[in-house]
Structure 1
């Protein structure tokens, strides 16, 4: 993603276009293809923009639009084919040594070019972004909580997504996927899945990630907004 953050108006327009494209096709498989195409066209660096668009839809008063998006994610979960974004594996990205301020070039493709990356769905992406060192600067806890609770609220509009997504996260929490998740992250994904499947509120589900496991050392991170 470019350094320029999309304006609220640009995000609303993008959300409107996405909803129009989804509503124009009754075939759920085609809708999933549309959703994946949008995420893919934004590119790896632009996946946070995709999450912002989902958050705009989650914040709206249009329950029908929310169900349309959530149902499409339900299809994706049934197929195990979520529109994803890539983050570097937890052991791959190292910050430069020394106490001097970090230059923008320190986070260039040259620095992280060799870091293996894996594709993550929206909930997993936010969780890893908040908890682990990746090619991105860390996502702060307040922003994580707001964005995560909005996503959970959105996905809860679909019975299928509300049922299948926690199941997927619980399975992820039981498997060490090629270094993609640290042990602490898997524990927190498990806590998130348990809270979500038990019917807790979206805010409580997000809090389950923040409350479980050992506290993070803030000195090790550069905090970044979504």
Structure 2
């Protein structure tokens, strides 16, 4: 198991990311840099990417925040968000092939014939991680609220991101995509979109997401922090 990165290493990595983005004036190339980082981290380490965004969001460097947020604005205009994948255990299926099972199926999480996965942007990823049964232990409500508010505060540094992201979430909330979002998740996404469009503060938006589905977390879940 890979050890969690230290606070020092996260700050150093965030600084390198901002420097790499600042070195290029082309917004499209900046998006390429961001997506390349996500690919290098790998699917299982998308939460590390979210933590890097959080480091920038909590910094006292508004230029770095705008640079990163504007890159997400470019991604939203292209409908190409740097995303991570979460499995959807509710939509799993048994293997089609007969015969003995390959032991690697257990290790890779594909025992049920390949759990459907969909690439999720940062806000959607946090929401699904908090609400749905995935390959990860669910996020606690407090961590979800804090992480979501921090993410929205960062994205609000870009006019494009502030305008386009809630529009995307509102559309996602209307789509019953197979294996992607449960009803509870769609309700939360709709609440986030509505509060964000209304210009509420990041903390109020995060609280609106929790209030939209208060009491609907499945019992017996083990919760963890980001």
TM above 0.5, yes or no, is yes
Alignment correspondent of 2:103: none
Cα-Cα RMSD? 1.7
Alignment correspondent of 1:103: none
Q: 1:84 to 1:70 in 2, by over 3 A?
A: same
Alignment correspondent of 2:121: 121
The answer as to 2:27 corresponding to 1:58 is no
**1:3 and 1:112 mapped to 2: Cα distance?**
23
- Local SS of the residue matching 1:147: helix
**2:218 and 2:90 mapped to 1: Cα distance?**
18
Alignment correspondent of 1:10: 9
How far did 1:116 drift? 1.5
**1:213 and 1:9 mapped to 2: Cα distance?**
36
Q: 1:93 to 1:5 in 2, by over 3 A?
A: farther
How far did 1:79 drift? 0.3
Q: 1:85 to 1:112 in 2, by over 3 A?
A: farther
Alignment correspondent of 1:207: 207
**2:206 and 2:65 mapped to 1: Cα distance?**
19
Alignment correspondent of 2:192: 192
**2:78 and 2:140 mapped to 1: Cα distance?**
32
Q: Deviations over 1:174-212 (max 9, x none)?
A: 111122000111011000000011000101111111111
Q: 1:126 to 1:16 in 2, by over 3 A?
A: same
Q: 1:119 to 1:186 in 2, by over 3 A?
A: same
Alignment correspondent of 2:18: 19
The answer as to 2:137 corresponding to 1:176 is no
**2:163 and 2:7 mapped to 1: Cα distance?**
31
- Local SS of the residue matching 2:219: helix
**1:41 and 1:15 mapped to 2: Cα distance?**
15
Moved over 6 A (4+): none
- Contiguous gaps of at least 5 residues in structure 1: 95-106
Aligned runs of 1:42-191 on 2, under 5 Å? 42-92=41-91, 108-110=107-109, 114-191=114-191
Count of matched residue positions in the alignment of Structure 1 and Structure 2: 213
Contact 2:89 2:133 (8 Å CA) reproduced: yes
- Local SS of the residue matching 1:193: helix
**1:77 and 1:70 mapped to 2: Cα distance?**
10
**1:56 and 1:219 mapped to 2: Cα distance?**
32
- Local SS of the residue matching 2:86: strand
Contact 1:73 1:82 (8 Å CA) reproduced: yes
**2:206 and 2:57 mapped to 1: Cα distance?**
15
Q: TM-score, normalised by structure 1?
A: 0.90
- Local SS of the residue matching 2:85: strand
